[in-house]
Structure 1
């Protein structure tokens, strides 16, 4: 397959300009300083945080003007040129989003880019909040929130640094990635293309550390390095907001497939969608913080999750940063894509997912570019994709499971489930009283053997657990 020379010339010219530009660090620029956190707790946790965003709006305005001029210079209607325009627009949108930090306009632009809690999937009646509530309900109804594993000693910041650094060093080919402990960051971990920074006093459960490896290193850092290594499309090292849903969905899939997506992690992802919904309906930072504390969250965790939703927007409520609403939506879309493509054994098309920071809608044009020799195969592959011999059988089997109604299976084992619930030791949330309580809760959500409602007109009983 060949591409018209005029198209290639524009790809080289515009792509080169995009690659030369300094990528915006949106999340770093809207992050709340440590002083805000310290003042909040020192004041008794009952005052709205005061946050000032120091944004170079003049510089951003100049950058937007340059990008608009570059956008206008793209001439033609080939799919590759439309894709190129999308990438220029993504950088414009990122700059405009940052320019609006600290105003209600920030949230409006955020919703346009990431969607919100009530955004729908592919035009259907299902919304992000429906998926979040379904997952929360499935975990609660089945008593999984009451399960507990033997306690393990958590990793401190130094141990996590050493673990990640050792894994990076052992990779082939090796990623150029620095792992450091940094007292200046506000989150537990901040990751970019070339550096992962860890908060000194943070601790990490074993599953959390494993998840960070797959999410931050094996996905985000890896796709950025693959994009930067593209000779003619190096701008793919930074895809902008338009790629966020796919990139976060890919990262969550990596956690899921590696069996490091824990109950607590999945519940927290779902809860963040609920927080976005609450903030969109007017909840303030304090409302979100208190909601999390009432649900048992630790003080620092509650603060971190509430500030994730309020950063860049208004702490008074009604104008949140909606990025957290798209993680589960991204997982659903990436999983659906992989299920469809892998069942056909299309490994090359799957590899396109990690050739840079791209969106799922880019796959068709990327396949065209690779066939024409414009796009190279990704240099780095994540563990789940390197394990092709186990990845393909998994999706081949789940393709059959998709058509099985689990209702009869639940009814067949109904007595076993009842006896097991009643027999749990008291220390494990069991005993006859606890078993009856669980069954009473379940009865409110479903009849015996019927699908669990997820808040929308859809049966959730056939959702396969990977």
Structure 2
């Protein structure tokens, strides 16, 4: 894709103006104060929370007007200019979303930006909720197995702060990210480009701590810093809502690749998609909270997940915030992208994925801009990408599965599970042999497995 001088001149003119107006703090603007949480529990968990949103609407209107003017100033049909207009629109749409907080229109705009529980993949019939239901079902624990993980002492908030701070301090090149305790936040952790805030009363498993490192610091903070370090396109430090699906998918891929994505974490992500679906169909905050409690969630965890879905929208139901519906879909799309690109050995294109906060569809435009010097290699690489010698073999092996008919494999291992089902241990205290539940069916895709790389 050749880029002419006039197009490059437009990009050089528009980019700094967009950078100065990028970064609407949507999540901060719709966050629920801690007193809403405390009042909910003090009143016996029986009343809908009362939340008032007070964004600076005058400032938002001014930002939208300035961005609209900037959008109109981009003139031309070159694909790179179309991409630039998409970037500007994303910032406009983020501001419009925040401006609609507390109204039914908030949900409409949220769906346009993040999708919904019923959004499909690659134009097909499978939807976000189908993926979530499949993963939740596959995480179900079967049988009487007595093997278990060793007990690990949880980390308190100061311990997590020290853990993250030490990892950040040891990183090279140095990454400027501060880790602090903040009693005002509702979530256990809130992370941005330069700061990670931790709720002082929160606790974390060691695996959760590792997951936060690769998700929040090694992905979200890292891509923001890479965007800010670009010579021309510094607005890539904040990709706007259009980049969310890819950025969350990239962060989940890091968790998966580094084996920090636990059963509990994956089930919780799948459950959040279901919560979005329920809320879209009319479930209120209380319906979501009570559903989670019935599923075994702790009180604070149930509150947190229910408020994630209701924040910005209507607590009485019908108009939720749909961002949580895009995490798993983003993971699937990032995995598919990496599989396809790595098959061609295109390491440069993989590096482009972390040169800022961007969407997968941006890669073509960024690749063309890289040839002009307007985009440079990312200064910071996540650990999974630095370990290129382990990344390529992973996808190369999984690609071989494309040519294997899994039906006989499934039959073979199902018979082994049938044998194992009859070998249950004696029931405690009864003296008679225990009966293990019927062996679970080993599900596998019919015909050929999905291609890896």
Q: TM-score category by the smaller chain?
A: over 0.9
Question: Aligned pair 1:215/2:226, yes or no?
Answer: no
* CA deviation after TM superposition for structure 1 residue 144, in Å: 11
* CA deviation after TM superposition for structure 1 residue 91, in Å: 0.5
* CA deviation after TM superposition for structure 1 residue 373, in Å: 1.1
TM-score (norm 1): 0.92
Contact persistence 2:222–2:382 (CA under 8 A): yes
Question: Aligned pair 1:160/2:160, yes or no?
Answer: yes
Which digits, 9 at most, give the CA deviation of each residue in 1:33-67, with x for residues without a partner? 00000000001111100001111112111111111
- In 1: Cα distance, 2:215 partner to 2:155 partner: 17
Unaligned 5+ runs, structure 2: none
Which residue number in structure 2 is paired with residue 320 of structure 1? Answer: 320
Which residue number in structure 2 is paired with residue 24 of structure 1? Answer: 24
Aligned to 1:180, the other structure's residue is in SS state: strand
Aligned to 2:436, the other structure's residue is in SS state: helix
Aligned residues: 449
Which residue number in structure 1 is paired with residue 384 of structure 2? Answer: 384
* CA deviation after TM superposition for structure 1 residue 460, in Å: 9.8
Q: What are the within-5 Å matches in structure 2 for residues 212-361 of structure 1?
A: 212-361=212-361
* Higher mean C-alpha displacement, 123-132 vs 56-65: 56-65
Which residue number in structure 2 is paired with residue 188 of structure 1? Answer: 188
CA-based RMSD of the aligned residues comes to 2.2
Which residue number in structure 2 is paired with residue 197 of structure 1? Answer: 197
Task: Flag the 1:68–1:465 CA change in 2: closer, same or farther, 3 A.
Answer: closer
Question: Aligned pair 1:50/2:58, yes or no?
Answer: no
* CA deviation after TM superposition for structure 1 residue 463, in Å: 6.2
- In 2: Cα distance, 1:77 partner to 1:215 partner: 37
Contact persistence 2:402–2:448 (CA under 8 A): no
Which residue number in structure 2 is paired with residue 14 of structure 1? Answer: 14
Task: Flag the 1:329–1:459 CA change in 2: closer, same or farther, 3 A.
Answer: farther
* Higher mean C-alpha displacement, 404-413 vs 216-225: 404-413
- In 1: Cα distance, 2:325 partner to 2:435 partner: 34
Aligned to 1:167, the other structure's residue is in SS state: helix
* Higher mean C-alpha displacement, 224-233 vs 61-70: 61-70
* Higher mean C-alpha displacement, 284-293 vs 394-403: 394-403
* CA deviation after TM superposition for structure 1 residue 407, in Å: 3.2
- In 2: Cα distance, 1:202 partner to 1:406 partner: 44
Task: Flag the 1:252–1:129 CA change in 2: closer, same or farther, 3 A.
Answer: same
- In 2: Cα distance, 1:432 partner to 1:240 partner: 60
- In 1: Cα distance, 2:396 partner to 2:144 partner: 28
Contact persistence 1:31–1:311 (CA under 8 A): yes
* CA deviation after TM superposition for structure 1 residue 402, in Å: 3.2
- In 2: Cα distance, 1:406 partner to 1:144 partner: 27
* CA deviation after TM superposition for structure 1 residue 102, in Å: 0.4
Task: Flag the 1:411–1:380 CA change in 2: closer, same or farther, 3 A.
Answer: same
TM-score (norm 2): 0.94
Unaligned 5+ runs, structure 1: 443-447, 453-457
* CA deviation after TM superposition for structure 1 residue 111, in Å: 0.3
Which residue number in structure 1 is paired with residue 411 of structure 2? Answer: 411
Which residue number in structure 2 is paired with residue 445 of structure 1? Answer: none
- In 2: Cα distance, 1:275 partner to 1:161 partner: 30
Question: Aligned pair 1:365/2:365, yes or no?
Answer: yes
- In 2: Cα distance, 1:215 partner to 1:379 partner: 18
Task: Flag the 1:255–1:374 CA change in 2: closer, same or farther, 3 A.
Answer: same
Task: Flag the 1:299–1:402 CA change in 2: closer, same or farther, 3 A.
Answer: farther
- In 2: Cα distance, 1:289 partner to 1:56 partner: 30
Which residue number in structure 1 is paired with residue 178 of structure 2? Answer: 178
Which digits, 9 at most, give the CA deviation of each residue in 1:211-239, with x for residues without a partner? 00000000000000000000100000000
- In 2: Cα distance, 1:403 partner to 1:264 partner: 32
Task: Flag the 1:272–1:434 CA change in 2: closer, same or farther, 3 A.
Answer: farther
Task: Flag the 1:165–1:184 CA change in 2: closer, same or farther, 3 A.
Answer: same
* CA deviation after TM superposition for structure 1 residue 24, in Å: 1.3
Task: Flag the 1:3–1:164 CA change in 2: closer, same or farther, 3 A.
Answer: same
Aligned to 1:413, the other structure's residue is in SS state: helix
Aligned to 1:354, the other structure's residue is in SS state: coil
- In 1: Cα distance, 2:144 partner to 2:362 partner: 38
Which digits, 9 at most, give the CA deviation of each residue in 1:75-126, with x for residues without a partner? 1111111111001000000000000000110001000100000111111010
